[in-house]
């Protein structure tokens, strides 16, 4: 429940950039850094922090996030609550940063952790996928052997059918017993998808994420799904959730898409009511992004919170990855 602030608030906004240790390739894009909007909301005694990475395919870049957050500065400093924020800004990276900063501030004001304020049980370590960026089949097989052998593997595809088949087969050969999911990032159409699906089944791939472009969801009507389909770009916010039923089996919640922990928790609970499985993902933020997503992960069937593993540096303290699990110390955020 949102808490009405008793004293005047101040909002600090800044941009922080975190380079990757190597370029990261997905369908149609290559990334070399993450530019983050960091928001700090203070009541003069306590400071709440949050960060947003935005949604690149929606034009929600750092300039857009900064402008959106600045647009509501006066409202926040006049005492707008987290609940009111949901109406002041649309879903996106700016609202995510501000929403999470509000949660962090509320926890410090109340002397209770965010998980308790949100009605969750005490967080537990979560099994999280580690992602392989698109590369040659040989290099991806080597990368699959180099990562934590206990971690599930998420494989980025490019939409080039022959290359993607080679990638999948090479990784399965290298890691015969691993859980493998693949992410097409909108790279396929119904024709090429029909050729891809038998390969996924043969390679014992556990799920296929976002095969078609956002807006082409109706092309999935009547299509037999021989493995679970997960919606990512097709599931931006709460309003998209109900339309997934019958076309997808899983909804991938990312706080930068839906605009923060408040809506992320609402989507997870609604999806469960609709009979959908729930996944939590990330837009390559630091551990400050992973911490609130980790709370959503407590409600999820699949967890993909490996963003900091791609960064040349992370925040300190940061999340820890060991034994196929992500561990999120309480002191990172929301304690």
Active-site positions read 156, 254
Phi first, then psi: what are they for 50, rounded to 5°?
-155, 160
Can you say how many angstroms the Cα of residue 155 is from the centroid of all Cα atoms in its chain? 15
Q: What is the 3-state secondary structure (H, E, C) of 167-225?
A: HHHHHHHHCCCCCEEEECCCCCCHHHHHHHHHHHHHCCCCEEECCCCCCCHHHHCCCCC
Beta strands per DSSP E along the chain = 10-26, 29-42, 47-52, 126-127, 130-132, 153-156, 180-183, 207-209, 229-231, 250-253, 277-280, 302-303, 320-322, 325-327
- Cβ atoms of 298 and 320 closer than 8 Å: no
- Report the alpha-carbon angle 188-208-325, nearest 5: 140
User: What does the DSSP assignment read for 66-96?
Assistant: HHHHHHTHHHHHTT--HHHHHHHS-SSHHHH
* CA separation for the pair 290, 306 (Å, rounded): 8
- Count the alpha carbons within 13 Å of 84 in the hemisphere toward its beta carbon: 12
* CA separation for the pair 42, 255 (Å, rounded): 22
Nearest to 333 by CA among 319, 313, 314, 320: 319
Phi first, then psi: what are they for 38, rounded to 5°?
-105, 125
């Amino acid at each position: 429940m949102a808490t009405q602030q008793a004293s005047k608030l101040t909002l600090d906004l800044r941009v922080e950039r975190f380079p990757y240790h190597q370029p990261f390739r997905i369908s149609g894009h290559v990334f070399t850094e993450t530019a983050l909007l960091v928001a700090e909301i203070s009541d003069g005694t306590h400071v709440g922090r949050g960060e947003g990475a935005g949604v690149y395919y929606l034009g929600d870049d750092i300039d857009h996030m900064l402008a959106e957050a600045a647009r509501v500065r006066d409202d926040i400093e006049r005492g707008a609550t987290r609940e009111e924020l949901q109406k002041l800004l649309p879903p996106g990276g700016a609202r995510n940063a501000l929403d999470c900063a509000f949660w962090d501030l509320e926890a410090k004001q109340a002397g209770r952790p965010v998980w308790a304020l949100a009605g969750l049980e005490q967080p537990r370590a979560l099994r999280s996928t580690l992602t392989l960026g698109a590369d040659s089949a040989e290099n991806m097989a080597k990368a699959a052997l180099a990562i934590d052998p206990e971690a599930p593997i998420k494989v980025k595809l490019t939409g080039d059918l022959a290359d993607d088949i080679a990638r999948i087969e090479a990784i399965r050969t290298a890691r015969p017993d691993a859980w493998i999911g693949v992410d097409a990032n909108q790279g396929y159409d119904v024709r090429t998808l029909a050729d891809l699906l038998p390969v996924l089944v043969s390679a014992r791939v556990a799920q296929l994420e976002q095969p078609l472009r956002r807006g082409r969801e109706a092309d999935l009507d009547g299509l037999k799904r021989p493995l679970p389909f997960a919606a990512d770009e097709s599931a931006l916010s709460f309003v998209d959730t109900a339309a997934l039923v019958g076309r997808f089996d899983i909804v991938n919640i990312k706080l930068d898409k839906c605009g923060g922990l408040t809506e992320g928790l609402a989507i997870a609970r609604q999806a469960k009511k609709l009979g959908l499985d729930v996944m939590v993902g990330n837009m390559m933020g630091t551990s400050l992004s992973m911490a609130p997503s980790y709370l959503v992960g407590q409600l999820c069937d699949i967890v993909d919170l490996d963003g900091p593993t791609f960064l040349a540096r992370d925040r300190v303290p940061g999340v820890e990855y060991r034994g196929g699990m992500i561990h999120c110390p309480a002191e990172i955020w929301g304690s």
